[in-house]
Amino acid sequence: MQESNAPVLIVGGGPCGLMLAIELGRRGVGALLVDEKPSTAFNPQANATQARTMEHFRRLGFADEVRSLGLPAEFPTDIAYFTRFAQHELARFALPSSRDARAKISGLTGSWSAAELPHRVSQKFVEAVLRRQAEKLPGISVQYGWRLVEFEDTGDDVRCEIECVADGSRRSVRCRYLFGADGARSFVRERLGFGYVGETGVIRDFMGGRMYALYVRCPDFYKLVPHAPAWMNVTFNPERRAFMAAVDGQGEFAFHTQLRPHEEAETLTIRDARRMFQAAVGAPIELEILSRGTWTAGHALVADRFQRGCVLLGGDAVHLFTPAGGLGYNTAVEDAVNAGWKLAAVLKGVADPSLLESYEKERRPLAVRNTGFARRFADSLGLFAPAREIEDDTPEGAGARQAAGAYFAAHARTEFNIPGVTFGGRYDGSPIIVPDGTVPPPDAANTYAPTACPGGRAPHLWLADGRSLYDTFGFEWTLLRLRRDSPVAEDLANAARSLGLDLTMVDIDHPDARDLYEADAALIRPDQIVAWRGTARCKALQVVAKASSAGRQTGQRKRPLSMAVPDHQI
């Protein structure tokens, strides 16, 4: 059997695996990515790219490319609630189009103090961008049509077997680290014997049970429906509850309805599927069904472990969400961001392998937190059931619609205005965060209080020249010097240099920045998390060594494995 070497074998070419390939490739670390599918997703899948994910895309240089995809630039990204799409509109939460989002963000402060706003775009478009970005990096090989079938962690490396889906031929791959980004039915997780903990099988009137997914083309929708277009369309009636994301603004939709107890997905015909869609529209309308599938709503599950030895896991392989709030793919991307710089630092010999232990310690609590937020959003949406008379042309019907409208107006703000969820995730208690004794603001879904308390996202601000503070950061470590003559900043920079860290010193002469960070200097990690902040001189070498795990190599893993992929064109 032919053998390939790769520093990292990534299993799964969804958002998590592709993002990890980019993070590694951008750092000059080779990786082979295999995915059993023929290519990136055909179905729309996730529909919302949260602001923090967009900030990561900006850091990597392709946020604008992503923002130009999906809906037309002027298409509103509203969330609207109807009895049925062509009948009564109950409530609408207005959100900016992608063109307005670009213009708006530089004027926002407080909870939305950010470099990017969210973007409502189907995952299928994002995956195609991530694939292109990964494929153009030297040392990264992306191979669809191959699946992982075996692996063994020897302690020094991982011996893997991959199989060509088309002809069954096998190759062996020897890698230093195996990363399982292989989704909900993860083979890697299963083989490691990791279980899921949390909640599953929750039944709700909506978003709790068997869901039926249709990817449809219905170009007459916008002619027939008498309401303003929206990105997310939700129906609320006793017969057919559904949510539907606009995919291209031209008539393609990702439609998801909850099956009623008597409906068996396996026996549903195309004609049944059409009827379901038409029932949600509330009018007979022509449509083409591009694909159909089922999935289960009602999970809030997190794996008990994210790593063992030289094998790490991320994305849906270790956390399963009910997609209320749109957090599954975004959490998957952040797993990859977190693992990416750490794997690269270890493989380049800058950091001790123990750095990787911080991956599970940081990401697992975040997965518990985010699945918890999603569960609460799903409860709020799905436990509220429609009154029987909600569609009636009677005073009682009008009253029921008014009550539902008021409910959804409040609910939409809770589920779709979530700066706290997206910016407020923290790594308190991580072994590589240097605490300063301050207490971060409370964790709340709908508000975010910028804070430089170590362990959280670096607070953002727009500079006088119009740049985002983040655009000044280095790709690896950044030392923000907020008072030019700060001796502690000089000490930290010298310590970082002596430990071989790639550090960019950034001087910010802006009184607001000093107030925002409440310190003369802040050490920012490659994933834009504050590792340390301070004003008084400190044991700089210890601070930097703790934050980076540099300079305390234990001598493990002496055998070198080439950083590039020598024979990856399988």
Ligand X SMILES: Cc1cc2nc3c(=O)[nH]c(=O)nc-3n(C[C@H](O)[C@H](O)[C@H](O)COP(=O)(O)OP(=O)(O)OC[C@H]3O[C@@H](n4cnc5c(N)ncnc54)[C@H](O)[C@@H]3O)c2cc1C
* Site of interaction with ligand X (CB under 6 A): 11-17, 34-37, 45-48, 123, 147-148, 181-183, 187, 213, 256, 295, 315-316, 323, 326-330, 332
Q: Which is nearer to ligand X, 96 or 441 (CB)?
A: 96
Q: What minimum distance in Å lies between the beta carbon of 419 and ligand X?
A: 16
Q: What minimum distance in Å lies between the beta carbon of 102 and ligand X?
A: 21
Q: What minimum distance in Å lies between the beta carbon of 388 and ligand X?
A: 28
Q: How far apart are CA 549 and CA 501, in angstroms?
A: 10
Work out the angle between the directed axes of helices 15-25 and 123-135 (0-180°, nearest 10).
30
**Residue 244 and residue 232 in contact, taking contact as beta carbons nearer than 8 Å:** yes
Q: Which is nearer to ligand X, 445 or 501 (CB)?
A: 445
Q: Which is nearer to ligand X, 128 or 463 (CB)?
A: 128
Phi, psi values for residue 135, rounded to 5°: -65, -25
CA 173 to chain centre: 28
Sequence-separated (6 or more) residues with CB below 8 Å from residue 549:
345, 351, 352, 354, 355, 358, 432
Q: Which is nearer to ligand X, 123 or 468 (CB)?
A: 123
Q: Which is nearer to ligand X, 41 or 496 (CB)?
A: 41
H helices of 383-499, where? 395-416, 419-423, 487-498
Q: What minimum distance in Å lies between the beta carbon of 32 and ligand X?
A: 11
Work out the angle between the directed axes of helices 357-382 and 328-347 (0-180°, nearest 10).
180
Residue appearing with tokens 């900006």: 58
Pairing assessment for the beta strands 319-320 and 300-303 based on DSSP bridges: antiparallel
**Residue 257 and residue 281 in contact, taking contact as beta carbons nearer than 8 Å:** no
Residue nearest ligand X by beta-carbon distance: 315
Q: Considering only CA atoms, which of 259, 249, 252, 247 is closest in space to residue 288?
A: 252
Q: What minimum distance in Å lies between the beta carbon of 188 and ligand X?
A: 7
Burial grade of 176 (CB within 10 A; 0-12, 13-18, 19 or more):
buried
Q: Which is nearer to ligand X, 153 or 156 (CB)?
A: 153
Q: What minimum distance in Å lies between the beta carbon of 362 and ligand X?
A: 17
Q: Which is nearer to ligand X, 6 or 550 (CB)?
A: 6
Q: What minimum distance in Å lies between the beta carbon of 150 and ligand X?
A: 10
Q: How many CB atoms lie within 10 A of CB 542?
A: 12
Q: What minimum distance in Å lies between the beta carbon of 128 and ligand X?
A: 13
Q: How far apart are CA 330 and CA 313, in angstroms?
A: 15
Assign 3-class secondary structure to 255-287. Answer: EEEECCCCCCHHHCCHHHHHHHHHHHHCCCCCC
Q: What minimum distance in Å lies between the beta carbon of 210 and ligand X?
A: 12
Q: Which is nearer to ligand X, 36 or 527 (CB)?
A: 36
Q: Which is nearer to ligand X, 315 or 450 (CB)?
A: 315
